[in-house]
Each structure stands twice: as C-alpha cells, then as structure tokens.
Structure 1
Amino acid sequence: MIIPGEAAGALLLLALTDSLSFGTLLVPVWLLMAPGRMRPGRFLLYLGTVGVAYFAVGIVLMAGGGFLLKDASGLLDSTPALVIQLLLGATLLFLSFALDTKAARAQAAERGARSGRLRRWRDQAMGETSGSAALMGLAVSAVVVEIASMLPYLAATGIITTQTADPPTALLVLALYCLVMIAPALVLTAGRLFARRLVAEPLRKLDSWLTRSARSTTLWIIGIVGFLLAVNAVKALGWIV
C-alpha cells in the first residue's frame, strides 16, 4: 500500500469534495449544456487542463509544505498545535452551518441567475470558430478563481506530504487525487456522448441546481474540511481511539 488506509480514505473524501467545485463540475456541466454537436475532444482538453493545473499547484504546495514541516519538526504534533487545529476545525464546521441561511441561499441564487459570465465563457470556448487556447484559458481561469478557497486541496496536499514515503510516491498519489477530482465530469461527458437523450434532462436539472446551490456547496466543503481537521486533532490528542 502506497499510503496508509485511513489517510487514503480521507484523501478520497477530499478528492470527491473537490470534484464538486466550480472548475471541476459547474463549468463542465455548463459546457455540456451547450447546444449543437457534441465535441468530446474539447471537453477532454478542458478537463485535462484543469487536472494538469491542479497537479502543478499541488507540487508547489507540497514543496512548500515539506519545507515548512521539516523546519517545524514535532511542532505540529504538540498538544497546543493540536488544540489549535481542533478549534480551527470546529470553527469551520460551525461557520459552514451558521452562514448557510435561507436568505443567503436565495440571494446567491438570484445573483447566479443574473450573471452572464459563464454563458460568455461557454460561447467563446465552444464556438465553432474558437481555438483550443480559449478553452485552456477557461480551464486555467477556473483553477485560479478557486485557489483562494481550495481548503480541501490544501488539506489533501498536507496529508500527501506527511503520509508518503518519497517524492515519486507523493507525485503518484497527487496524480490519482487529481484524476478523482475530474472523474465525475468525465462520467457526465461519457453520458452526454453515448446517451444524450437519457442524460439531457438530468444534466439540465444538475446545471440549475449547481447554479442555485453554489454558495451552499462551498460551505459544505468548508464544513467537511473542518470536520476532518477536528477528528484528526481529537485522535492525535488521544481523546478517542
């Protein structure tokens, strides 16, 4: 086993959480809703660019994290540090529920309905005269937009840095993580390609739901990260087995 089972389970959960983000699901679904002939190569180019961009960001994060962890040997495992981690996790979990109010969801849905940004991006990227550069630019832009809020990815790179034995193994695990991130979008792409009539209506409903629920999804992601941080701290403190 290239990584401990408990860490692998946490990484799988984080990767599936990351797969619900703006760049890995909302934009792909929006692209799949584009009218006209299905062009699978364009979707694969978009998803491949997203995966490579996240992989590159992950390498940078793990390199920086490894340097910091080496300098802070043992500090992060101390009782004060674990208590801070527990408090941080509990705070994130609390905020994920406290901020997810009915009024906030309604306002977010209204803003999403008025926004034409995604439509302009889709029309430019999927147009008949558009080149690959526009689609790759869209993919990179989606990743850049998410950098400030990529809590699950930060947590995942930290786990990979501390739980893998050597750099090649860490890179392999990171690559698998990025593949899981885009896997749901790949499944939807295959469905759109081979079973268009069956998936057209589910895709439309999913697109509508994702647009309305973008704020709630983000808060749930924050809550999941908070939960994992808190549980990890409680176990490390020896309060539960």
Structure 2
Amino acid sequence: MNTAKPPAIRIQGLRKSYKDLQVLKGVDLDVASGSIFALLGSNGAGKTTIVRILATLLKSDEGTASVNGYDVATEAAQVRESISLTGQFAAVDEILTGRENLVMIARLRRVEGPKQVADDLLERFGLTDAGARRVATYSGGMRRRLDIAMSLIGEPAVIFLDEPTTGLDPEARLEVWQVIQDLSDGGTTVLLTTQYLDEAEKLADGIAILHEGAIIVNGTLAQLRQLLPPAKAEYVERQPTLEEIFLSIVGKDKNGKTTANAKEAP
C-alpha cells in the first residue's frame, strides 16, 4: 500500500502570456506536503505570476494546477479556504494595534474566539509585549511577523510567501526565517519566492530555479550541488562575513537570539 502523501501543490504544463509576452512557458512543479519549497528567479522570471495563479487571483492560459488537492480553476473556493498569501510588503493596518489587527482578521474569517486567537498568535510570534501598541511603532521585522501571524488565522494548509524579507535588515530577516521554519515544523506547507540565495539555502527542503518562464533546475540543495564539479580541499584563512560582524556587534547569533557577546567598534 502506498501511504505517501500527495503533493500539497501540483503544477503541470502551466502557461501564461500577456499579449506577445510569454511569462510562463510550460511550468511543471510538485511541492511536498509540510515542506518549505523555494522558487528562485530574477525579477520578471514569473515567480509572482505562479503564486497569483495558485492563489486563484489569475487564470492561466494553459495547463493545470492544484493546491491541497483542489483544482485552482474549477475549485477556487476550496483552494482559497486552504491557503494564505503574504505579499512582498506587510499588509497590516498601522492605525490599529497588533492585537486589533489579528482580532479584525479573525472576525472577518469567522473564526471562533477571535480575541483568544489573537492572544495565542501574539505569544507564538513573540509579540505579546507589543500587542497593545499601534503597528505604526513596530519595526520592519515585527510588522512582517504580525503579517505572517495574520495569514495563519484559520489554519491554512498552504501558505505562499512572496519575497517575505524584501527590504528587511539582517536582524529582521533572521526573525522571519525562524518564523518560516516554525511553520514547516508545525506541518504547514510553505511556498517561498525569493531572490536571496542564502535564504533558500538556509530554509528550503526543495528548490526550483525559474528562468525566463521555465523551470531549469529542480531538486534538493544536495542534488543541485552535484551539478557542479566537486569542491577542492584547500586551506583558506576565513574572514568573518559582514553579516557575522553585524550580528556580533548588535549581540545576536545566526538564529536571531540575543547573546552576551555584543561588542562596540573601537
């Protein structure tokens, strides 16, 4: 008996054009349930177009796509109930407090106990102390964490994160990375579009590279590494990266946690 779970996302022969511009040229892609899958590509490669089709915001010209077992074209309502989409910029109301943002979304989605849901999410995302403050006072990382928390209301099976760390500073990026990892650990399937290669390397279980509307490489990081010649072992004096210097100075480790080693520049 085959007990393997079906893919959380399945794309076959997906095509999309805008007049004479071919954006997607027959994309095929499977994303395993509960995984973090990174879709890499430069601006204009077609990443956001794929996400918009999967989220039922855009219709493809050809091909099929399903999310959580539902066809995006013929079962759009069921797809929408299964997903959440977080765009490149945090969609939060700056006039409201963090807690009020969460309560509002919970009520709009008709979730039982909206106030308790809000409090639970504030605690889960490390925002309890800031919950009563207006979002206008939040840092970029805090806004993004709140944005992702809002997207989880209703417990979607699949979440799309479209360039989630664009414009964030190094500390905020680490905060968001930890949130994404926690989502996957909890069983949520995450489709992550990004231009940052280190982001995919850090987080992704599977990686696909989209170039000029087509998937040119698809596999795990280990499989992608096999495409290049083996590395030669040489002694090199390694200097700290700028990211490591920055995090050391501000007293953070690579996971965004506070350390006791904060240093001051001479």
Query: Scaled by the length of structure 2, what TM-score is found?
Result: 0.25
Where is the helix percentage greater, Structure 1 or Structure 2? 1
Q: Which has the higher contact order (CA 8 A, sep 6+)?
A: 1
Query: Scaled by the length of structure 1, what TM-score is found?
Result: 0.26
